[in-house]
């Protein structure tokens, strides 16, 4: 496709094929990303021009730039607060994150993705921020786009968090301690006389609450409850907090922390992973593990490691292998751009098409993606580097990059050096 922006905006021609229609959608997405980059550039130049004019008019230095954010907000039809954030991001992009900005200009990165990276690097020095900008967003040796382009937002956020922790664990820990002070509960209206109840919590508590609700849902469904998973979780939340029903038993909540053996030793900078959340500093993990009743097991080392290397003859992944895949994929659906939690571990290449029940050919998918993949004309297969290649009915190919727990060689497909700790927290949710 070589259409100009004007041609793209005029819309696809009558009788366009399915492939052309998908191309049109994808090209317009690139135009939107590039437009956001140019908006950022214009905002920075506006800020510079206004400052020069104000200085010439004798306005004191501390007041220079006043009113620019509001002008940006009006022009972009957002609130003044949002305008200030957009102007702030624009300055960071142009001055401190050149590779991120270049990806946006090339149409491969959205303003929202850039916002996540700016946020995750906010506590770092300028030097460290530049390192992360380069490591995540610079093109490959042959000019190919970096892997972050295909990542889902959660996966991308995790990659940025991990790098930040690796570069400057101290700053990340200090910022986390400070953030805990902001814990709170909020409620806001939702359509159809519903409400959103939200809670900003330290990761250990938030993940534990969610895991407790998830476990209640699984138990209910196993007992034949016909409510959906979401319905049971919502009902259980209300029941336990309001004391509407008290089961008496304290729920035993399991939070999975995956870390390398090295990270368990003191003074390591390697991040740990909390399943359902993402990377945390090893120092934080060590402290949390010291706090709670901890059940530790080695994951997928001998003899269980053989299970991972071993192909299963059965059509469905055995439990240990399914858990391995979920941990390997970080608990997040492998579809590009999807951030939903994994609900199914299934074959990339179908069993009936000769796909094996092995770690290489299995992927963790959310319910929706697992269904989409079963639709007519969809295909998938594993790539040699641990990626999953999905081919849609129009022949478009999407590559899901390998998770960074992937260790290609040797041992293949093994998390042998990883240690999984289950954090068992006694959370009494009945207030
Ligand atoms: Zn999904």
* Predicted pLDDT of residue 281: 83
Question: Is pLDDT larger for residue 419 or for residue 167?
Answer: 167
pLDDT band at 120 (very low <50, low <70, confident <90, very high): very high
pLDDT band at 74 (very low <50, low <70, confident <90, very high): very high
Q: Ligand 1 mean position to 39 CA, how many Å? A: 31
CB 352 within 8 A of CB 427: no
* Predicted pLDDT of residue 272: 78
Average pLDDT over residues 143-161: 90
Average pLDDT over residues 326-330: 80
- Cα within 13 Å of Cα(375), Cβ side: 11
Q: Which two tokens stand for residue 19?
A: 């492939």
* Predicted pLDDT of residue 155: 86
Q: Ligand 1 mean position to 205 CA, how many Å? A: 25
Q: Ligand 1 mean position to 371 CA, how many Å? A: 9
**CA distance linking residue 413 with residue 425, whole number of Å:** 31
CB-based contacts of 71: which residues, under 8 Å, 6+ apart? Answer: 46, 83
Question: Is pLDDT larger for residue 281 or for residue 64?
Answer: 64
Under DSSP, is residue 297 helix (H, G, I), strand (E, B) or coil? Answer: strand
Q: Ligand 1 mean position to 353 CA, how many Å? A: 22
Residues 80-103 as b or e (16 or more Cβ within 10 Å = b): eeebbbbbebbbbbbebbebbbbb
Q: Ligand 1 mean position to 151 CA, how many Å? A: 12
Nearest to 41 by CA among 117, 101, 116, 106: 101
* Predicted pLDDT of residue 413: 34
Q: Ligand 1 mean position to 420 CA, how many Å? A: 25
% of the chain with per-residue pLDDT over 90: 42
- pLDDT of 44 strictly over 50: yes
Q: Ligand 1 mean position to 191 CA, how many Å? A: 25
Q: Are strands 252-260 and 418-426 parallel, antiparallel or unpaired?
A: antiparallel
CB 425 within 8 A of CB 255: yes
Average pLDDT over residues 352-373: 87
Q: Which two tokens stand for residue 161?
A: 């968090």
- pLDDT of 138 strictly over 50: yes
**CA distance linking residue 130 with residue 135, whole number of Å:** 9
Q: Ligand 1 mean position to 360 CA, how many Å? A: 18
Q: Ligand 1 mean position to 302 CA, how many Å? A: 32
- pLDDT of 302 strictly over 60: no
Q: Ligand 1 mean position to 305 CA, how many Å? A: 28
Q: Ligand 1 mean position to 70 CA, how many Å? A: 38
Q: Where are the beta strands (DSSP E) in 299-417?
A: 344-347, 362-365, 379-382, 388-391, 397-400
Nearest to 399 by CA among 337, 324, 327, 331: 337
**CA distance linking residue 237 with residue 206, whole number of Å:** 13
For residue range 164-212, what is the model confidence (pLDDT) as tens digits?
Answer: 998 998 888 888 888 889 999 988 888 887 888 999 998 888 888 888 8
Mean pLDDT of the chain: 82
Average pLDDT over residues 382-402: 87
**CA distance linking residue 16 with residue 133, whole number of Å:** 39
* Predicted pLDDT of residue 425: 44
């Amino acid at each position: 496709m070589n259409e100009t922006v004007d041609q793209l905006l005029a819309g696809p021609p009558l009788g366009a094929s399915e492939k052309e229609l998908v191309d049109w959608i994808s090209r317009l997405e690139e135009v939107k990303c590039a437009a956001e980059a140019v908006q950022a550039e214009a905002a920075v130049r506006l800020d510079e021009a206004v400052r020069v004019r104000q200085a010439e008019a004798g306005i004191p230095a501390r007041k220079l730039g006043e009113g620019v954010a509001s002008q940006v907000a009006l022009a972009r039809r957002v609130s003044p607060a949002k305008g200030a954030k957009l102007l702030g991001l624009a300055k960071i992009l142009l001055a401190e994150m050149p590779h991120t900005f270049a990806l946006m200009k090339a149409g491969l990165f959205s303003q929202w993705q850039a916002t996540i990276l700016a946020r995750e690097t906010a506590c770092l020095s300028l030097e460290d921020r530049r390192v992360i900008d380069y490591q995540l967003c610079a093109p490959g040796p042959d000019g190919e786009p970096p892997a972050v382009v295909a990542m889902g937002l959660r996966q991308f956020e995790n990659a940025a968090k991990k790098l930040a922790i690796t570069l400057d664990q101290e700053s990340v820990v200090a910022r986390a301690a400070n953030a805990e002070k902001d814990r709170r509960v909020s409620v806001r209206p939702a359509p159809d006389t519903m409400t959103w109840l939200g809670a900003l919590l330290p990761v250990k508590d938030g993940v534990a609450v969610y895991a407790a609700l998830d476990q209640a849902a699984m138990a209910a469904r196993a007992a034949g409850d016909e409510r959906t998973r979401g319905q049971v979780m919502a009902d259980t939340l209300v029941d336990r907090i309001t004391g509407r029903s008290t089961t008496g038993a304290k729920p035993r909540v399991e939070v999975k922390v995956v870390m390398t053996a090295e990270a368990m030793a003191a003074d390591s900078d390697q991040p740990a992973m909390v399943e359902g959340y993402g990377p945390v500093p090893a120092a934080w993990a060590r402290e949390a593990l010291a706090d709670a009743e901890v059940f530790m097991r080695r994951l997928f080392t001998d003899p269980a490691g053989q299970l991972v290397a071993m192909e299963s003859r059965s059509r469905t992944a055995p439990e240990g292998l399914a858990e391995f895949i979920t941990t390997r994929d970080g608990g997040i659906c492998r579809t590009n751009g999807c951030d939903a939690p994994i609900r199914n571990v299934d074959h990339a290449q179908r069993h009936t098409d000769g796909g094996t029940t092995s770690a290489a050919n299995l992927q963790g998918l959310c319910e929706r993606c697992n269904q989409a993949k079963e639709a007519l004309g969809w295909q998938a297969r594993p790539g040699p580097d641990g990626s999953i290649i999905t081919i849609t009915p129009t022949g478009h190919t999407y590559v899901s990059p390998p998770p960074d727990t992937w260790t290609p060689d040797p041992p293949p497909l093994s998390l042998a050096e990883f240690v999984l700790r289950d954090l068992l927290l006694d959370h009494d949710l009945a207030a």
